[in-house]
């Protein structure tokens, strides 16, 4: 007993203590479990997302069916073989309508994520690379935008420019670039300390060249990841706006519009009008965030501990 | 540290002062930006005033109303008038609810505060209890179930949860009322409101809890690995004492800041929950105002929400500085 107490504490991770926790655990049962879960999240997420995107893109083409076909003899039918998801208030087939809605929602989400990532990356890179007053002003701007609850700012923008896809896209993109800006700024600040930037500067590269040729390419992985992380958020945002009646025009079937219409249907007992579209919504969200979380763990292993689940 | 104590207090006051000073330009910029958005919008408030009647109203009448509403002045003049009124306490009139904005707020704010505080209370309670249990039994079946559920709920929008809760508890089981503050035509009494509050507050709490829960779990896991906790274990303290008295206090310090930073999500959640449950609060009024393009109400409520966010982060920072002497006060 005494020996074990007095024995010098040998840290089992000593030779490789610089290695990430995931590396250290690789090969142990715990590590295998974590790796297995990560693989499940990645493969499952990609599989689910591919299936959903294929269904959303190809679904309306197969069989030449029309999701806008109104049939008042088939109002609010429960799920059956003819209508796997049932039908809605106007007798439209909910499966086709949900797939069309998924397509619209995904399209809006990709647009929003793209725009806000570019905007955020430009602001963040400028802020980090130029520093000084530019940095302070831009970061105060980020704080200011963040001080307004995003849904409210979105509601204000959509209310004043009602009824178009672009109003919704703008309202989401203009509220979500701040996260990307912060991430890119932090990344640029850390990159600025690296030798290759010093080398470029001593080689006589201009500020502009350093920014464009050395800093921006280096932040691309981070920016791309935040774009993917923004996707579920943008889907959620669009759905919430449309649900409130402030989003896409009613003729465009988006998941939010379908759910908004289904609100009253629930009171009539037509649960399928809400259950199936929201299941699609949740599946899409979980697939994207599953992929993004694995990607983030690989890109920034340090942060794994914060998110290990 | 006896020398440091008063200066620490002064530093915290200084922090609060600086944050308040920062809040002023933020509010000015937000209101100016919203006004600019409104001015650039293709929407003409005259349509809101008249409704369909605008097509039959005579040009002279329209011109008179425009002058009355002050729509002919330049944007800067209009903004100056609106901001000046705001500072003197005159919040203007809501065009869609046809009553002063101040009245709308005093009538509706208490209901929103009630809903949000009960919802937040539920969320914090759930997050603390389940967060502690899952961190304590990390890797166990309870931990796996709870964290998986939390992830799933995090992915479900609050309004879907709300619809599901209505379908299940109000329509399916018939335990609770569907929506509203009281039964149709009923008086506002404690019992009525309490019965109608259960579903919206629970939905708000449940939709807010996953994020808090995962943070409590994560920060408690970190705290359990710290030296002072190992020390407490080595002294032979019981497991509850180790976890609750030694690890939890360290783990909860960041939680205070997290709660303060959670105000925007609370506002968002309140908007969605109030709309689904027809709860007569300010958050639902925002949506009504937006649907009717009721600019004075929309702008004022958004400004109020922004002030609430700033106040939340200020209070959280002050609380964190008071609770933890290591927190820097120069930020």
**How many Å apart are CA A147 and CA A143, to the nearest integer?**
6
Residue A21: CB partners within 8 Å, gap ≥ 6?
Answer: A301, A304, A305
By the 10 Å C-beta count (0-12 exposed, 13-18 middle, 19+ buried), B69 is classed as: middle
- Residue A97 to chain B, least CA–CA distance (Å): 18
- Residue B234 to chain A, least CA–CA distance (Å): 13
Residue A290: CB partners within 8 Å, gap ≥ 6?
Answer: A41, A42, A44, A45, A48
Query: What is each CA distance from A51 to A45, A98, A283, A287, in whole angstroms?
Result: 10, 14, 11, 10
- Residue A305 pLDDT: 42
DSSP B224-268: HTSHHHHHHHHTT--HHIIIIIIIHHHHHHHHHHHHHTTHHHHHH
**How many Å apart are CA A139 and CA A181, to the nearest integer?**
9
Answer whether A156 sits within 8 Å of B42, measured CB to CB. no
Lowest mean pLDDT among A36-45, A59-68, B200-209: A59-68
- Residue carrying structure tokens 């008086």: B187
Answer whether B156 sits within 8 Å of A282, measured CB to CB. yes
Answer whether B26 sits within 8 Å of A147, measured CB to CB. yes
Q: Which two tokens stand for residue B2?
A: 């006896």
- Residue A308 pLDDT: 37
Query: What is each CA distance from B171 to A107, A254, A267, A270, B104, in whole angstroms?
Result: 35, 26, 7, 11, 31
**How many Å apart are CA A182 and CA A177, to the nearest integer?**
9
Q: Give me the mean pLDDT over the A178-184 stretch.
A: 88
- Residue A17 pLDDT: 43
**How many Å apart are CA A292 and CA A232, to the nearest integer?**
10
By the 10 Å C-beta count (0-12 exposed, 13-18 middle, 19+ buried), B106 is classed as: exposed
Residues 81-110 of B with CB under 8 A from A: none
Residues 120-179 of A with CB under 8 A from B: 140, 143-144, 146-153, 155-162
- Residue carrying structure tokens 């003197």: B88
Answer whether A144 sits within 8 Å of B171, measured CB to CB. no
Answer whether A266 sits within 8 Å of B272, measured CB to CB. no
Contacts by B47-56, CB closer than 8 A, 24 or more apart: B48/B95, B48/B96, B48/B292, B48/B293, B48/B294, B49/B95
- Residue B136 to chain A, least CA–CA distance (Å): 14
- Residue A16 pLDDT: 41
- Residue A4 pLDDT: 43
B160 touches chain A (CB under 8 A): yes
- Residue B10 to chain A, least CA–CA distance (Å): 25
User: Considering CB atoms only, which of B147, B159, B305 is closest to A149?
Assistant: B305
- Residue A27 to chain B, least CA–CA distance (Å): 18
Which residue ranges in chain B fall short of pLDDT 70? 1-5, 43-45, 47-54, 70-72, 181-187, 328-331
- Residue A32 pLDDT: 66
Element (H, E) at B319: helix B295-323
B214 touches chain A (CB under 8 A): yes
Q: Which two tokens stand for residue A50?
A: 């591919």
- What percentage of chain A's residues is helix, strand, coil (to nearest 5)? 75, 0, 25
pTM > 0.95: yes or no = no
B41 touches chain A (CB under 8 A): yes
Answer whether A152 sits within 8 Å of B293, measured CB to CB. no
| Count of beta carbons in the 10 Å neighbourhood of residue B116 | 24
For A232-269, the pLDDT digits (tens) are: 888 888 888 888 888 777 777 788 888 887 777 777 77
Mutate to test the interface with B, among A28, A143, A156 (most CBs of B within 10 A): A156
Answer whether B155 sits within 8 Å of A285, measured CB to CB. yes
**pLDDT at residue A19 is higher than 70:** no
Mutate to test the interface with A, among B144, B159, B283 (most CBs of A within 10 A): B159
Q: Name the closest residue on chain B to residue A262, using Cα atoms.
A: B163
User: Considering CB atoms only, which of B152, B160, B267 is closest to A152?
Assistant: B267
A268 touches chain B (CB under 8 A): no
For A110-168, the pLDDT digits (tens) are: 999 999 999 999 899 888 888 889 888 998 888 888 888 888 888 888 888 776 788 88
């Amino acid at each position: 007993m005494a020996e074990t107490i007095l024995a010098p504490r040998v840290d089992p991770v000593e030779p490789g203590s610089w290695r990430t926790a995931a590396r250290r655990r690789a090969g142990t049962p715990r590590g295998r479990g974590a790796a297995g879960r990560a693989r499940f999240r990645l493969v499952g997420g990609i599989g689910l997302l591919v299936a959903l995107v294929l269904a959303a893109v190809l679904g309306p083409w197969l069989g030449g069916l029309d999701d806008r076909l109104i049939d008042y003899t088939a109002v609010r039918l429960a799920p059956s073989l003819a209508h796997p998801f049932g039908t809605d208030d106007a007798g439209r087939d909910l499966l086709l309508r949900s797939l069309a809605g998924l397509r619209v929602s995904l399209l809006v989400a990709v647009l929003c994520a793209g725009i806000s990532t570019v905007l955020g990356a430009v602001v963040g890179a400028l802020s980090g690379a130029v520093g000084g007053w530019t940095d302070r002003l831009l970061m105060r701007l980020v704080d200011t935008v963040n001080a307004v609850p995003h849904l409210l700012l979105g509601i204000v923008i959509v209310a004043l420019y009602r009824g178009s896809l672009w109003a919704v896209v703008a309202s989401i993109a203009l509220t979500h670039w701040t996260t990307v800006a912060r991430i890119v700024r932090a990344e640029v600040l850390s990159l600025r300390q690296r030798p290759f930037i010093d080398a470029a500067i001593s080689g006589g590269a201009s500020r502009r060249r350093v920014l464009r040729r050395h800093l921006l390419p280096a932040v691309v992985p981070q920016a791309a990841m935040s774009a993917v992380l923004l996707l579920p958020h943008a889907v959620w945002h669009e759905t919430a706006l449309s649900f409130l009646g402030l989003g896409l025009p009613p003729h465009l079937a988006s998941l939010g519009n379908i759910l908004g219409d289904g609100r009253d249907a629930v009171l009539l007992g037509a649960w399928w009008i809400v259950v199936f579209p929201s299941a699609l919504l949740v599946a899409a969200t979980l697939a994207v965030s599953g992929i993004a979380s694995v990607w983030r763990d690989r890109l920034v292993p340090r942060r794994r501990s914060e998110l290990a689940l | 540290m006896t020398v440091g104590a008063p200066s620490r207090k002064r530093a915290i006051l200084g922090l609060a002062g600086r944050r308040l000073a920062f809040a002023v330009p933020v509010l000015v910029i937000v209101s100016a930006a919203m006004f600019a958005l409104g001015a650039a919008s293709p929407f003409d408030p005259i349509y809101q005033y008249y409704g369909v009647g605008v097509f039959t109203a005579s040009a002279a009448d329209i011109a008179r109303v425009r002058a009355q509403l002050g729509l002919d002045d330049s944007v800067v003049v209009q903004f100056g008038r609106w901001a000046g009124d705001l500072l003197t306490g005159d919040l203007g009139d809501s065009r869609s609810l046809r009553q002063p904005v101040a009245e709308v707020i005093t009538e509706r704010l208490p209901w929103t505060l009630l809903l949000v505080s009960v919802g937040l209370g539920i969320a914090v309670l759930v997050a603390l209890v389940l967060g502690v249990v899952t961190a304590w039994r990390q890797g166990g079946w309870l931990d796996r179930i709870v964290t998986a559920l939390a992830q799933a709920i995090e992915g479900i929008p609050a309004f879907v949860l709300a619809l599901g809760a209505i379908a299940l508890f109000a329509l399916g089981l018939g335990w609770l009322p569907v929506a509203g503050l009281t039964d149709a035509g009923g008086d506002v009494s404690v019992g009525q409101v309490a019965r109608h509050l259960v579903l919206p507050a629970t939905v708000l709490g449940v939709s807010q809890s996953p994020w808090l829960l995962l943070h409590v779990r994560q920060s408690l896991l970190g705290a359990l690995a710290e030296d002072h906790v190992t020390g407490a274990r080595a002294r032979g303290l019981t497991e509850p004492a180790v976890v609750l008295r030694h690890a939890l206090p360290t783990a909860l310090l960041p939680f205070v800041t997290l709660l303060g930073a959670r105000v925007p999500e609370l506002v968002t959640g309140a908007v969605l929950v109030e709309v689904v449950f027809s709860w007569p609060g300010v958050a639902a009024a925002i949506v009504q105002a937006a649907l009717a393009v009721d600019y004075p109400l929309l702008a004022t409520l958004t400004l109020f929400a922004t002030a609430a966010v700033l106040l939340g982060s200020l209070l959280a920072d002050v609380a964190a500085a008071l609770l933890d002497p290591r927190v820097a006060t120069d930020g």
